[in-house]
């Protein structure tokens, strides 16, 4: 490889102009004829003494002027100094272990002047390959899968094949978390064949994903004299409209019932956005949604409603208009629509009188209404019946004035709630507070969000709903205060709340009395939720069950905490997909359809062989699964297989980009160098209009040449004045 080349080599023909000063010098040489003049004989001796000095001065002046012309045309030809070539001249033919990482994260899809940062990165990498020695060892890594190099320690005998590998790299929607990426590169360095190491990162220098310091790795690399180069292929622009999230707001989605979703959109364009329209897609059918006006830096929540007529998995998507970063313009959600919800009400004080039982008003409230009421399948069971039968797996379980529970019951109930079943607990005269505190509260580690203290006979009127985001009683809080103060409360259970704030525990409503005592307290327990009501479910402690607000409260609470699969299908790009399968079933024809794929890909069933014993069999059953790890592309993945018992099966997964990739703030080269501590990387900028060949192969030295030309002209002017002095 040459040590010097020119970007405007045709201008080198201008070097011929360097002959002009020589021609002028020769043309204007003094011509004279001899004339004998007496006084000249006296000057002859003096002229002979000065002639040699004058000739030297004229030759030096001629050389300065010729050099100035040469330097001028050398400068405009844009010479490039090739660092690789110089190092080869100085260092001989030492073999180098070269690791090159190409950032293919979502932000690399940001386009400027029609070209993405990833495309520029590929161009840089192709140019870079030509600078490597044929005996160097190349390892090529992608940021989306740093532990699985595209090529590992190959010699570039056939560079065309490696170039094709580079050009085939497709953009991904993963988040570039650089700490594990650097650790993966460090492991590759440790296993390198040659003692000389060079690491090259090709990235857009976005701040997102970088740790505050990389001190330990950087110190080790500095000690091993690793050469670190970083090619900045990112655009300086950060204008972007980002779709940050798309969520299913309603925990429970029922057939023929409106299901609420919500999208969050942020304006990072630097100007106000008005009249922007997006597509809301339900099962492949789009409809236009007008977004609210967004100020600079503002994030807006866009409410969306979808109604599904059939039970099963449904696809919902939201799509913004195309912009410079299309990777964060689309998100998807898989909504698991249920035909019905199984609710089990355990009555601790049953009665044969109409509406005399502990759960009668609850059952009535959940049975009112049209289509949704039909979806609420309510079963009422006495506490003795519940204790004597195997624990069922309902979507929602209600314990109303159940006197006490056994330890085995509580353990089974705890596993049930942890797996996603919703639990409501209503107090009453019969309950044993010591039993509840010991087994259900368990010092704060159990199901109850607070300990039971004692019954209070103080009366109050109505309830106050706390303005908690995502509260199961959010709909109740939309009623007027007057509507929530029409009923009277005669008895309540006083609680001992945990000291300080406890994660997952919050008061949703308080009684309208001087103490503002908790009325409903929530606790998140595993995948399930628990609501503790400090009054009875019937009208023995209050006349709330006879008020219309009671119907709204219990129905909305039931919908909010009942078992849901809303989060089971939600993944971030890069997460592995998994479906656990029964060990005893025969699984055939497993495959997966990926976003943008033309044909389904076959899957391999992974898991243990059948085992003896209940515990071993349970472990084997849980280990048997269909998995798929390459989810670098966002979209909907469809996994399908045939089960010998259940028949044809299908599972949908919504894979979305990480919202952090929409944060496009950049490092300056100086800030980036500070991350590396002991080792100082060489940061080479390749902007949208930059020449990738120039950036990779060397550095232009026109600034150095321009400085030299200026100095040369100053020297020439001073020397010409001195040489032309009177003598």
How do residues 268-310 score in pLDDT, each as one tens digit? 998 999 989 999 999 999 999 999 999 999 999 999 999 999 9
> Higher confidence at residue 415 or residue 612?
415
Q: Residue 94 corresponds to which tokens in the numbers above?
A: 């030492």
Q: pLDDT tens digit string along 522-564?
A: 999 999 999 999 999 999 999 999 999 999 999 999 989 999 8
Report the Cα 52 to chain-centroid distance in Å: 78
Q: What integer is the mean pLDDT of 702-725?
A: 77
* Site of tokens 């990779």: 696
d(CA 390, CA 416): 13
In this predicted structure, which of 104-118, 220-234, 313-327, 706-720 has the lowest mean pLDDT?
706-720
Q: Is the pLDDT of residue 317 over 60?
A: yes
pLDDT of residue 642 exceeding 70: yes
Q: Would residue 373 be called left, alpha or beta, if left means φ above 0 and alpha means ψ between -120 and 50 degrees?
A: alpha
Contact criterion met (CB below 8 Å) for 14 and 92: no
Which letter, b or e, does each residue of 210-246 get, where b requires 16 or more Cβ atoms within 10 Å of its Cβ?
beeebeebbeebeeeebbbbbbbbbbebbbbbbbbbb
Residue 51 is predicted with a pLDDT of 67
State the average pLDDT over residues 703-726: 76
The whole-chain average pLDDT of the chain stands at: 85
Residue 29: band (very low, low, confident or very high) from pLDDT cuts 50, 70, 90: low
Q: What is the DSSP string of 517-584?
A: -EEEEEEEETTEEEEEESS-SSTTSBSGGGSHHHHHHHHHHHHHHS---TTTTEEETTPPEEEE--TT
Residue 35 pLDDT > 70, yes or no? no
Give me the pLDDT at residue 412, please. Answer: 93
pLDDT at res. 610: 46
598 pLDDT band (50/70/90 cuts)?
confident
User: By 3-state DSSP, what share of the chain in percent is helix, strand and coil, each rounded to 5?
Assistant: 30, 30, 40
Q: 49 pLDDT exceeds 80?
A: no
Is the pLDDT assigned to residue 600 strictly greater than 50? yes
% of the chain at pLDDT higher than 90: 56
What are 683's two structure tokens? 């940061």
Residue 680 pLDDT grade (very low, low, confident, very high; cuts 50, 70, 90): confident
666 in Cβ contact with 204 (< 8 Å): yes
- Assign 80 a pLDDT band (cuts: 50, 70, 90): low
Residue-level pLDDT at 31: 52
Strands (E), 13-146: 79-81, 97-102, 111-112, 115-116, 137-142
Give the pLDDT of residue 617.
46
CA distance 426 to 448: 11
Does residue 42 surpass a pLDDT of 80?
A: no
Q: Which domains does the chain have, with CATH numbers?
A: 4-82+703-723 (no CATH), 83-238+664-697 (3.40.50.410), 241-338 (2.60.40.10), 341-561 (3.40.50.880), 570-656 (2.60.40)
147-168 in b/e form (b: 16+ CB < 10 A) is: eebbeebbebeeeeebbeebee
Checking if the pLDDT of 458 tops 70, the result is yes
Least confident of 220-229, 387-396, 445-454: 387-396
**Residue 56 above 80 pLDDT?**
no
Question: Is the model's pLDDT at 90 over the cut of 50?
Answer: no
- Residue 9: its pLDDT value, please? 57
User: Which uninterrupted H or E stretch holds 705?
Assistant: helix 702-723
pLDDT of residue 655: 96
- Pairing relation of β-strands 647-656 and 570-572? parallel
The pLDDT of residue 1 is: 43
pLDDT given for residue 705 in this prediction = 74
Higher pLDDT, 274 or 608: 274
Residue 92 above 50 pLDDT?
Answer: no
The pLDDT of residue 48 is: 61
- Is the pLDDT higher at 216 or at 36? 216
Better-scored residue on pLDDT, 90 or 380? 380
Residues sharing a CB contact under 8 Å with residue 197, sequence separation 6 or more, in sequence order: 96, 97, 98, 99, 189, 221, 224, 225, 226, 227
Confidence of residue 697 (pLDDT cuts 50, 70, 90): low
How is residue 29 written in tokens?
Answer: 């040489």
- Return all residues near 324 (Cβ < 8 A) that are at least 6 apart: 110, 111, 112, 235, 237, 239, 240
The H-or-E segment that residue 723 falls in is: helix 702-723
Structure tokens at 93: 């033919």
pLDDT digits (tens, 9 = 90+) for 145-164: 999 999 998 988 778 889 99
Reported confidence tier of residue 437, pLDDT bands at 50, 70, 90: very high
- Rounded to an integer, the average pLDDT of 359-369 is 87
User: What is the pLDDT, as a whole number, of residue 20?
Assistant: 64
In percent, how much of the chain has pLDDT > 70? 84
Q: Is 60 exceeded by the pLDDT of residue 486?
A: yes
CA distance 336 to 314: 6
pLDDT of residue 86: 45
For residue 84, give the 3-state DSSP assignment.
helix
pLDDT band at 27; cut points 50, 70, 90: low
Q: Is a pLDDT exceeding 50 seen at residue 620? A: no
pLDDT at 167 over 90: yes
From the number of C-beta atoms within 10 Å of its C-beta (0-12, 13-18, 19+), residue 42 rates as exposed
* Closest to 465 in 3D by CA, of 514, 506, 422: 506
The pLDDT assigned to 334 comes to 94
pLDDT at 611: 47
Strands (E), 607-646: 625-628, 635-643
Give CA separation, 688 vs 166, 263, 553, in Å: 20, 32, 58
């Amino acid at each position: 490889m040459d040590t010097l080349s020119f970007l405007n080599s045709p201008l080198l023909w201008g070097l011929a102009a360097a002959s002009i000063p020589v021609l002028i010098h020769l043309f204007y040489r003094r011509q004279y004829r001899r004339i004998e003049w007496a006084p000249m004989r006296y000057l002859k001796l003096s002229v002979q003494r000065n002639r040699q000095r004058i000739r030297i001065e004229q030759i030096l002046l001629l050389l300065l002027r010729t050099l100035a012309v040469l330097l001028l045309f050398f400068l405009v030809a844009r010479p490039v100094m090739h660092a690789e070539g110089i190092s080869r001249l100085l260092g001989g033919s030492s073999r180098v272990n070269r690791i090159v990482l190409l950032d293919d994260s979502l932000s690399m899809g940001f386009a400027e002047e029609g070209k993405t940062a990833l495309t520029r990165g590929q161009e840089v990498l192709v140019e870079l390959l030509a600078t490597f020695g044929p005996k160097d060892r190349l390892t090529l890594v992608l940021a989306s899968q740093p532990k699985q190099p595209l090529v590992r320690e190959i010699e570039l005998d056939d560079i065309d094949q490696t170039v094709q590998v580079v050009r085939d790299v497709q953009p991904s929607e993963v988040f570039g978390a650089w700490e594990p990426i650097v650790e993966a590169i460090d492991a590759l360095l440790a296993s390198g064949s040659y003692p000389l190491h060079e690491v090259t990162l090709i990235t857009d220098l976005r701040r997102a994903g970088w740790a505050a310091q990389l001190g330990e790795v950087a110190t080790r690399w500095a000690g091993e004299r690793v050469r670190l180069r970083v090619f900045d292929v990112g655009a300086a622009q950060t204008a972007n409209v980002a779709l940050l999230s798309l969520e299913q707001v309603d925990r429970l989605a029922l057939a023929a019932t409106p299901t609420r979703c919500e999208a969050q959109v942020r304006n990072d364009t630097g100007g106000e956005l008005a009249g922007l329209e997006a597509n809301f897609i339900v099962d492949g059918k789009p409809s236009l949604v007008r977004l609210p006006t967004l100020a600079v830096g503002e994030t807006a929540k866009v409410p969306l409603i979808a109604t599904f007529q059939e039970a099963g998995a449904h696809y919902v998507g939201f799509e913004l208009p195309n912009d410079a970063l299309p990777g964060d313009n689309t998100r998807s959600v898989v909504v698991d629509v249920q035909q019905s919800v199984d609710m089990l009400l355990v009555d601790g004080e049953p009665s044969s009188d109409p509406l005399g039982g502990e759960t009668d008003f609850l059952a009535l409230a959940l049975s009112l209404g049209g289509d949704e009421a039909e979806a609420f399948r309510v079963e009422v069971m006495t506490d003795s019946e519940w204790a004597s039968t195997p624990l069922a797996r309902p979507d929602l379980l209600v314990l109303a004035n159940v006197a006490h529970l056994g330890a085995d019951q509580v353990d089974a109930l705890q596993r049930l709630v942890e797996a996603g079943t919703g639990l409501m607990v209503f107090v009453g005269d019969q309950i044993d507070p010591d039993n509840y505190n010991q087994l259900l509260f368990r010092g704060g580690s159990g199901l109850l969000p607070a300990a039971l203290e004692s019954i209070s006979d103080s009366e109050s009127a109505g309830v106050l709903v706390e303005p908690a985001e995502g509260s199961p009683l959010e709909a109740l809080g939309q009623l007027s205060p007057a509507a929530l103060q029409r009923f009277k409360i005669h008895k309540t259970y006083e609680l001992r709340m945990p000291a300080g704030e406890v994660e997952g525990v919050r008061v949703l409503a308080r009684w309208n009395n001087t103490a503002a005592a908790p009325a409903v307290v929530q606790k998140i327990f595993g995948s399930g939720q628990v609501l503790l009501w400090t009054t009875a479910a019937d009208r023995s402690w209050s006349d709330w069950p006879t008020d219309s607000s009671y119907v709204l409260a219990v129905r909305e609470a039931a919908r909010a905490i009942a078992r849901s699969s809303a989060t089971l299908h939600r993944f971030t790009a890069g997460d592995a997909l998994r479906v656990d399968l029964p060990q005893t079933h025969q699984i055939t024809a497993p495959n997966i359809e990926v976003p943008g794929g033309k044909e389904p890909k076959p899957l391999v069933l992974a898991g243990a062989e059948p085992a003896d014993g209940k515990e071993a069999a349970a472990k084997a059953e849980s280990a048997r699964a269909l998995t798929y790890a390459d989810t670098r592309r966002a979209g909907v993945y469809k996994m399908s297989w045939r089960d010998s018992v259940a028949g044809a099966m299908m599972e949908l997964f919504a894979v979305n980009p990480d919202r952090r990739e929409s944060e496009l703030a950049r490092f300056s080269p100086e800030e980036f160098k500070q991350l590396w501590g002991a080792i100082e990387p060489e940061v080479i900028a390749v902007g949208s209009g930059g020449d990738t060949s120039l950036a990779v192969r060397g550095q232009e030295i026109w600034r150095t040449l321009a400085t030299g030309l200026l100095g040369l002209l100053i020297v020439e002017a001073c020397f010409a004045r001195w040489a032309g002095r009177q003598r």
